[in-house]
A and B are shown apart, each in its own frame.
Chain A
Amino acid sequence: MSLRESNRRMRLRRTGIIPADARVRHYDELGEETQVTVRELAGRPRTAPEADDLDDGDVVKFTDYYEVRAR
C-alpha cells in the first residue's frame, strides 16, 4: 500500500540486515521531495508525512541502510 494513500507517518530505522525479498532503493533513485525526507529522518528519532515513492518495509541506502516503517 502506498504511504500517500494511507496517510501514515513514516520513520527510518537503521538496519544491518537486508532481507532477500526487500525492495531496496538508493538515495539517487528517489524524487527530490523524498530525498529531503530521507535526509531529515535518517539516523534521527523523527517521523514525517508519507513519501510517495517509498513503501512500508522498503530499505533505503543513504549513508547507511534504513528500513522504512510506516504507522
Chain B
Amino acid sequence: MSDSYVIIGDGIAGASAAETLRQEAPDAEITVLTDEGESLYNRILIKEYAKGKLPEAPISIHQESWYDDHDVDLRLNTVVVDIDVANDAVHTHEGETFEYDSLLLAVGGTPQQLPVDNSDADGIHHFWTFQDARNIKESVEDAERAVIVGAGLLGIDFAAICGAQDVEAKYLMRGDAWWRYALSEEGAEIMHEAMRERGVDPVFDSGVDHFEVDDDGHVEAAVDPNGERYECDFAGVAIGLNFNTELVEDTSIETENGIVVDEFMRTTVDNVYAAGDITTFNDLVLGEQAKNGSWGSAKEQGTIAARNMLEYGSDEFEWVSSYSITHFDFPFLSFGHPTIGDESVEATTAEGEWRRVALKDGKVVGGVLIGDLSPQSAFKQLMREGRDVSDQTDLLMEPGFSVDDLAAATEQQ
C-alpha cells in the first residue's frame, strides 16, 4: 500500500508540495483540500486583475485538469473542521474523513477586520483571494471616492487599484509615513509622491475611528480619530492577517503567531508539516524564528516540506526573501527583514533612487531599495553569508555596490 499525503490549502505552498510529492513519489496517494472554489492561481497577479490591467485567464496556474493529469485528488469548497493528530485523520464540514500518513498545513491567513463600528459594511473590502479581487474590481469600477487603510505592502495595492481605476482616494495612515517601520520619511516620500500622481492622497496621523453607512448599509464615509470625515463609496482595508491556527488549537501542535516549524518545516507533531504564510519557522539565515509571506518563500517552503515528508531531514529551508512593488514607473523592493535590526544605514543614491539597509550585530538582515534594484543580489548574498559589515556600512550605500567592493576594502585595511 502506498503512503498517503493530505495537503490542506491549494495556494502556492500547498501546490508546490503536491508537485514535489508527485515528482518524487510517483505512487503516493495525494489529496489536496481547499476551502476556495478554484484551484491554484497566481496570488501576486490578482492585484493586476483588480486594477483592470489583466484578464482572468492568465492568473490561473493549475487548471483542474492538472490534478487529474497528476493523479492528485483535489477537493474544492472543502472546509476542514477538525484535525485528529492522534488518529492521523482530518474531518471536513461535510462529514468526510481523510486519513493520512503525513499531513501538510498550508492554511495561510485571513485578513484582519478593523475593530471599529460598521467595518463589515457593504463597500468595505479586504484583499486576499481571487474572489476578493473580483469583488474589488466590480466595486471600485462604480466608485468615485475611496478610503484606504493600512500603511503597508498590502495597503499600497489598494492605492494602486484606485489610481488605475481613476478613483480619488484618501489613504489614511496612523503615523507620519507609509510603511514607517521599514522606511524613513525620505524614502517614504518617494512613495507618497507616486501615490499623489495617481490621485491617491496620503493623510498622516489619521486612521479610522468608525465608518458611516447609508440606509442600505453601504459605506458612505470614514471618520478618523481626529473627527475628520472622508466621504467614500469604496474602502480598502489591509491591516494584516490573522493566521488560521484555530484548526490546531486543540492539538499538541505548537503555535506562536502561526504554526511553529523547524527548518525542515515539521511541526511539533512528527508527521504533520506546515508551509507558507502560516509558519513561524526557524530562519537559518537570521538565526531566530521568523515569518515570511512572500510568494517565493511560500513556494520554497512547500517544496522543502514535501521532501521532508518523504524523508525527514533531507532538505533545509534556507531562504532570503524579497517582495517588489511594480505599480509605479520606478521599482520598489524589500528584502529579508527590513523592519528589524539594531541599526540601519540609508542614502539617496541618485534622483528618485533611495536605499536603506537594516543590520543586526553588524550583519545585514534586510532592507529596501527604491528606483535602483541593482544591489539586490549583493545584499542577499551578504545575508546568506552572515558577513559582518559593521566597519564598512558606508560602502553599502555606494551606487553600483557589489560584494567585491567589501573584499577589496578589507584587503586594503
Contact = CB atoms under 8 A, between A and B. Distances in A.
Contact of A20 (B57, B322, B323, B377): B57
A21 B172 CA distance: 38
Nearest to B377: A32
Contacts of B373: 35, 39
A35 B53 CA distance: 21
Given A24-B45, A28-B323, A65 B328 contact: no
Interface in A8-58: 18, 20-24, 26-29, 32, 35-36, 39
Contacts of B376: 32, 35
A20 B58 contact: yes
A26 B44 CA distance: 7
A68 to B, nearest CB: 14
B295 A61 contact: no
Contact of A29 (B58, B296, B331): B296
Contacts of A35: 373, 376
A22 B58 contact: yes
Number of chain A interface residues as a range: 20 to 34
B48 A61 contact: yes
B110 to A, nearest CB: 22
A18 B54 contact: yes
Nearest to B372: A39
Contact of A28 (B53, B59, B322, B377): B322
Contacts of B328: 63
Given A18-B53, A62-B331, A28 B58 contact: no
B55 interface: yes
Given A22-B58, A26-B42, A63-B330, A36 B295 contact: no
Contacts of B331: 27, 39, 62-63
A29 B295 contact: yes
A71 B56 CA distance: 29
A22 B380 CA distance: 31
B113 interface: no
B324 interface: yes
A53 B328 CA distance: 24
Nearest to A31: B296
Contacts of A61: 45, 48, 326
B53 A29 contact: no
A27 B333 CA distance: 10
A63 B44 contact: no
B329 interface: yes
B330 A28 contact: no
A22 B53 CA distance: 13
Given A18-B53, A32-B380, A27 B58 contact: no
12 contacts: A18-B54, A20-B58, A21-B58, A22-B58, A24-B42, A28-B295, A28-B323, A32-B376, A39-B331, A62-B326, A63-B326, A63-B330
What 10 A-B pairs are tightest by C-beta distance, nearest first? A24-B58, A20-B57, A26-B44, A20-B55, A27-B324, A28-B324, A63-B326, A63-B331, A28-B295, A22-B58
Given A26-B45, A63-B326, 7 more contacts: A20-B56, A20-B57, A32-B376, A32-B377, A35-B376, A39-B373, A63-B328
